[in-house]
Amino acid sequence: MRYRSTRKSVYSAKYHVIWCPKYRQRVIGGRVEARLKQIIDEVVTECGGDVIECETMPDHVHLLLELPPTVPLSALMQKPKGRSSRRLWAEFPQLRRLPALWSPSWFVSTVGGAPLDVARRYVENQQLLTSSTA
């Protein structure tokens, strides 16, 4: 596992994020897809993160990324959706027929690290280790 660091923290915070166009319209493909991936990479890099993988389907986006702990994920998600909506509408007139490009909702799951039960046992055992050494 690779850890990254800031001045005040060492971290490995990876997320799997999924979001969809409004009404699951099948509008992602071809040049729109390529431009969308560029915009996503640009935004994540500006926030100090790394895009690990970005894949699109005609009706949704899968993004695997790593972010520093100083960047709130909810704030980050507003940026690629907002920026891509404005730029894609300007660059691809066929998208202007949609009332909004993106659905306001999105899914996130953390990725990597130890499984939950391993982490739970580690935390539970800290109390036992502390009391036995005192």
Q: Report whether 97 contacts 2 (CB < 8 A).
A: no
- Residue count of the chain: 134
| 28 within 8 A of 56, measured Cβ to Cβ | yes
Is the sign of the CA dihedral 36, 42, 13, 105 positive or negative? Answer: negative
In the annotation, is 15 catalytic?
no
- 3, 15, 23, 122: the active-site residue: 122
Burial class (CB in 10 A: 0-12, 13-18, 19+), 84: buried
The Cα 45–Cα 129 span in angstroms is 41
Question: Hey, which residues are catalytic here?
Answer: 122
